[in-house]
Amino acid sequence: MKQIAWIFLLLASSVSQLYSQDQKFAHIGDFKLESGELIRDCVVGYRTFGRLDSKHSNVLVFPSYFGGRAADLDSFIGPDKIADSSTYYVIALDSLADGVSSSPSNSKSQPGMRFPQVTIRDMVNAEHKMLVDGLHLSHVHAVIGISMGGLQAFQWAVSYPDFMDKIVSIEGSPQNTSWDVLLWRSELLAVENDPGWKNGQYTTPPKLQVFTSFFSLMFTTPAYMLKNESIPQVEKSIAEPDWPLDPNDTIRQIQALLSQDVAAPFGGSLARAAAQIHAAVLAIVNRQDHVVNPATAIELMKLLRGKLVLLDSDCGHRAFSCDQVRIRQATADFLKP
């Protein structure tokens, strides 16, 4: 089940940098979190694809998903892909705690579990600060995201309603359901109870066999597994798990997923949160998604009278890959000026 490894400047001094897909970093200083804690010397990683037009009006912001990095988004960026870099200037962002942007695994002053907990709102706030202060952008055409990136896209719509014209959330959610909380708390327990985790003080990262097995169980559906995974393949994946993030980074990203609620500042009311949104919104969800429950995305789109694409794929959460042709077409049509 290699699937769980997840298939995922502008204004620079040199013209050549405008076309770069190389890893870049923006240093945004000490960054204050919702909790009041600080990420010291916060860094946000990013990569760019395509060409920036003369009016700086074709920018797509594309934050990374859980377990993925900006480099992994390459498979969704390009001509005839979800983020068309032949038309748009795509800024792929590394979400906090992904091992590239500031994270437990790479912080020198706040290593391991000394690195503070972050929320989805913190991720978005850090990305906004990077884009405004680091890349001098005051407005972009759209923010798009898949999975945890889709959660961020909804948060962008509420937190910075005039920063973008459009929002595309693919298999994202604006507000956790009881299912989401059960899933992510279970996954958090699976990491914290791994015998090799040692309260985050490990010298050799644990394999996280229970975590990865449980995530694989939720990632698709029984129907998909029966068609695509043999028993020997399953047994091999359990024995040799393939998860890309450091365990402490994984914990901080799971805690961010557990924080998701764009309506929190509004007494939990999605209707009040929806009233803050100025951008046009497209939500693409899958009825059979067992990782991100689609219920609150569907509810929000009804409140917004936004564009909803409702998939019914036995690929489960993997629909962002299985149904990429349909997703690409819906996104391309929606993003047109």
Look at residue 337 in the predicted model and tell me its pLDDT.
Answer: 85
Half-sphere exposure of 321 (CA within 13 A, CB side): 16
Mean pLDDT, the chain, rounded, equals 93
Rounded to two decimals, what is the model's pTM? Answer: 0.93
19-33, 66-80, 151-165, 288-302: the lowest-pLDDT one: 19-33
Check residue 20 and give its pLDDT. 54
**Distance from C-alpha of 300 to C-alpha of 298, rounded to nearest angstrom:** 6
- Provide the token pair at 248: 């402490």
Q: What is the mean pLDDT of residues 241-258?
A: 97
Assign 9 a pLDDT band (cuts: 50, 70, 90): very low
Percent of the chain beyond pLDDT 70?
Answer: 94
pLDDT score of 13 more than 70? no
Residue 8 pLDDT > 60: no
Q: If you average pLDDT over residues 250-264, what whole number do you get?
A: 98
Which residue did the predictor score with more confidence, 19 or 102?
A: 102
> How many helices and strands (H and E) does the chain possess?
11, 8
Reported as a single tens digit per residue, the pLDDT across 111-122 is 999 999 999 999
β-bridge mates for residue 170, sequence order:
146, 284
For domain 2-179+253-335, the CATH class is alpha beta
Strand-pair partners of 92: 47, 62
* Residue 3: predicted pLDDT: 46
**26-79 confidence digits (pLDDT tens):** 999 999 999 999 999 999 999 999 999 999 999 999 999 999 999 999 999 999
Tell me the two tokens of residue 283.
Answer: 């939500």
Which two structure tokens, joined as six digits, stand for 275? 């009233």
Domain ranges of the chain: 2-179+253-335
Q: Look at the block and give the residue holding tokens 């391309």.
A: 332
CA dihedral over 67, 266, 279, 132, signed as positive or negative: negative
